[in-house]
Amino acid sequence: SKISKVINVPVDSFGVMDLQYLECQLKKLASCDKNRGRPIYGCFSAGSNVTGFLTDDVRVTKLLHKYGGWCFWDYASTAPHATIRMNPGSTYDTTANKDALYFSGHKFLGGPQTPGVLVVKRHVFRNPVPHNAGGGTIFFVTPERHAYLTNIEEAQEGGTPGIVESIRLGALLTLRHTMGIDSIVACEAEYTRKVLNSWGDVPGLIILGNETTLRLPIISFIIEHEESVRSIY
């Protein structure tokens, strides 16, 4: 962050990302001579782990690509509950296709002690030197020089990987596929609806955010404590 300019995108009145503000900032960056040649990276959460609100990843990714940026997505909270779409675009329009996304296996059903997952396009890797050089990343070594593997996946994973943990991750993703993401989404949406309807009538309980916004099964609320005149989150 020392050599970059970080821009935080606020939310709108519905509690989701303000896309008008985002595009306005992208226009400024793309048109400023001082920023010419500097890369634009957009890092966003696909779903909030506070309100549960989902972000329109297609529209946001298209905006970043429209102004020459790259778009990276954090699916940590979203991956267990929604469809993971790396390439939602069509053959004729690839502007909605993400540059990278990542999620944590431990948040899935049966996921503890599983590794994180990074799905990334090859064009992102421009430096032949891996981020963490280690065992298994070197192609050959001489007293004068050395060369790294050209296979990106092998070069970027130095040392012994978590073999058993990776097998466990594959098993839980297979389970998720067998259950069907549509069934999971429908079931969780029904439970979320019941909770919101039930809690909406509880005195002193305030649900945060717009209850009609497309969301994950995540609900944040505040309890107003009359005796202490305080709100408990």
The structure tokens 């050599």 sit at 3
- Quick one: what percent of the chain has pLDDT higher than 90? 62
How far apart, in whole angstroms, are the C-alpha atoms of residue 46 and residue 88? 14
Question: Given a cut of 60, is residue 78 above it in pLDDT?
Answer: yes
How far apart, in whole angstroms, are the C-alpha atoms of residue 142 and residue 120? 31
Mean of the per-residue pLDDT values for the chain?
A: 91
Task: For 115-130, write each residue's pLDDT tens digit.
Answer: 999 999 999 998 888 8
CB atoms within 10 A of CB 147: 11
Of 88, 33, 34, the C-alpha closest to 65 is 88
pTM: 0.88
Task: For 6-20, write each residue's pLDDT tens digit.
Answer: 999 999 988 899 999
Task: For 109-167, write each residue's pLDDT tens digit.
Answer: 899 999 999 999 999 998 888 887 777 888 888 888 888 888 888 888 888 888 999 99
Listed in order, strand segments (DSSP E) in 112-212 are: 116-120, 138-141, 146-148, 205-207
Task: For 176-201, write each residue's pLDDT tens digit.
Answer: 999 999 999 999 999 999 999 999 88
Of 63, 81, 73, the C-alpha closest to 26 is 63
Of 105, 219, 222, the C-alpha closest to 172 is 105
Would you list the DSSP string of 165-230? HHHHHHHHHHHHHHH-HHHHHHHHHHHHHHHHHHHTTSTTEEE-S-TTS-B-S---EEEEETTTTE
Task: For 84-98, write each residue's pLDDT tens digit.
Answer: 999 998 878 899 999
How far apart, in whole angstroms, are the C-alpha atoms of residue 93 and residue 70? 16
Strand pairing category for 41-45 and 70-74: parallel
Domain limits, the chain: 19-115+162-232
Of 211, 225, 95, 115, the C-alpha closest to 172 is 115
* Cβ–Cβ under 8 Å, residues 87 and 57: no
The structure tokens 């946001």 sit at 60
Question: Given a cut of 60, is residue 1 above it in pLDDT?
Answer: no
* Cβ–Cβ under 8 Å, residues 224 and 204: yes
Helix (H, G, I), strand (E, B), or coil: what is residue 25?
Answer: helix
* pLDDT for 2: 65
